[in-house]
Amino acid sequence: MSPGRSIDHEELSLEELRDLTARTNGFYARDYSLYLGWNNVRYIIETSLFQAKLLNRTLIIPSFVYARACEYDNAICADYTPMIDRTEATGIEFPEDQRAGFRMPISLMVNVTLLREAHPVILVSDYLRLHGLSSTLEKTDGSWDRDAYHSGAMVFEQDKSRAPSLYVIENAYYDPKGTNRVDVLPEDMKARGSWSPVGFNVDTGRIGAWGKEVPSSEIHDALWNALPEGQSVLDFDRVWSIIECLDEVGDIEDEAELEQLLRDYGWEILYTFQGALGMDLAKTVVEPVRQVAPRSTLRGFADEYADLDEDVLLLAGETHLERKPGSMRFTSTEASGNFQGMVLHQVHAIDKVHTLADKLHERMLRLTGRRLWMGSHMRRGDFIKEDWVIEHDPAQHVARVKEHLETGRDFLASRQEVRSYDIAGIKPDETQFTHQPPNPDDPFYVATDERDPDALKAIAAGGAVFLNDLLTIEDRQAFGWPLIVTDVRALVEQALLARSAYFYAHSMSSVAGGIVNMRAARGADPRTTLLD
């Protein structure tokens, strides 16, 4: 679906909520980490949407999130949306200068109606209304209240004493050490390993047992010994190089033969996505990869939890940190493609964001004389404090950005054709050939959380254009008050940079990861994106 389609969220009536949830087998809830920034919360929503669909349960998402700063004095933002103490609201200790935040309806941050086109989704406030409970009960830290949320029957329930039942997937049960959480175990895989459900284990939750023992062999032992410390998975290319060196194995004709050999020796092929520079902080889903894991380590999410009949199924605690996109690997290309499609096409900002980004894109073209324009995300604030920023000095930082953009300019000037990411249904964006490549002295766009006036002057002196340079009073009036909140401004900047001809950013940034995914969905050439 085009991001430009106007489908902003509208509150559903009780009857509409009943009909929406009746299509599923109950509710799927999470403990949402609202102390995190928006893009990390978005990762959790992306994962939860897939998991809820996998279990055929209505996904429940928070009614609000917390924005971290106001573009002006905090009192101005507080006139429009509640200002909160993030330490008090979330229970996480923030530094004194980061404690102030703003409570934002989640419908301003993500297009809830579009989410519902992928699978039934409701807000916590919807769930509370549906059960005759006050919206004031919604917990400020994003966790699921196992008592208060289960104190009232559904308003359409005849038996008013019937409170919704609850099953908790404890955090330790999700992917204990030495296991690999996957979406579902295919029937042929279960047959190969003689899998059967064996009930409940107090340490690891619901599990299944692989009954077929894999005998020791040169192949199995070589792969097992190659597993990195603390991990239970190998990259497919690494496996091939190991197998080729073994005396027990003859010449392997093709990948299909290698895959069959691995299955014969107790290893299975899994599908996931390559992280930026080998890390999974940006959570991009644009580069599918194969991995290999011992069959005995696999635990299927649907196999363990799809048969439960409790009204609410709760996955407790945090699961997205230090995990692949989706917080699981997939046992088929179809499943990994379905998750990828959700991320690229269903989890979007609201219509206003894309409408404004289109206008700003046009203004960048005017600034460059209708030539292609380039952009960068320069994350500085917390990256400087954590010593994650590549260059501390703003002048050196912008010089580094310009160096990479110059490489981008050379590519744009020399390319003869446009590619897209190898993703089903996405075609290359050919419109860029309607513009000339950038000139060396053209202005370029920079999205940054830098707020020091002297640092901003240094960045601007290098040729950078900022959001305030492009916005007009008419833009602000049309968009409304949320545009004074920095997290909403960041959504606009992500959408704008998704439209740039070339994009450069830091690989450890979740903001940059979102931009990469958006660029892929728009048909951008993968050679026009660089994360380092």
Domain annotation covers residue 325: no
Does any domain span residue 324?
no
pLDDT at 276 over 80: no
Distance of alpha carbon 513 from alpha carbon 497, whole angstroms? 12
Segments forming the whole domain that contains residue 34: 14-164
d(CA 112, CA 213): 47
Boundary-marking domain end, from 267, 302, 337: 302
How does DSSP assign 377-421, residue by residue?
Answer: EE--HHHHHTT--S-SSHHHHHHHHHHHHHHHHHHHHH--S----
User: Mean pLDDT, to the nearest integer, of 513-523?
Assistant: 96
What mean pLDDT do residues 460-489 have? 96
pLDDT > 90 fraction of the chain, expressed in percent and rounded: 79
Pairing of strands 180-182, 205-210: unpaired
Question: What pLDDT is stored for residue 134 in this prediction?
Answer: 97
Q: What is the pLDDT of residue 3?
A: 37
| The total number of structural domains that make up the chain | 3
Residue 435 has pLDDT above 70, yes or no: yes
Given this model, what pLDDT does residue 387 score?
Answer: 56
Is 104 in the same domain as 136? Answer: yes
Which of helix, strand or coil describes residue 294? Answer: strand
Q: Which helix (H) or strand (E) holds 530?
A: strand 529-531
- Indicate if the pLDDT at residue 429 is higher than 90: yes
Name, of 97-101, 122-126, 213-217, 382-386, the range with top average pLDDT.
Answer: 122-126
510 in Cβ contact with 39 (< 8 Å): yes
User: Given pLDDT bands bounded at 50, 70 and 90, which one contains residue 384?
Assistant: low
Whether residues 501 and 449 share a domain: the answer is: yes
Spatial contact of 109 and 349, defined as CB atoms under 8 Å apart: yes
203 shares its domain with 227: yes
Residues 222 and 140 in one domain: no
Residue 391, pLDDT score = 66
pLDDT value of position 357: 98
Q: Quick: pLDDT tens for 387-401.
A: 556 767 888 889 999
Q: What pLDDT shows up at residue 7?
A: 38
Same domain flag for 136 and 186: no
* Among 164, 189, 204, residue at a domain's last position: 164
On whether both 290 and 259 belong to a single domain, the answer is yes
Q: Is the pLDDT of residue 196 over 60?
A: yes
CATH of the domain at 420: 3.40.50.11350
Helix 486-497 to helix 38-55 angle, to the nearest 10 degrees?
70
The percent of residues above 70 in pLDDT, for the chain, comes to 95
Q: Is the pLDDT of residue 422 over 90?
A: yes
Mean pLDDT for the stretch of residues 280-294: 92
- Taking only the tens place, the pLDDT of each residue in 293-327 is 999 999 999 999 999 999 999 999 999 888 999 99
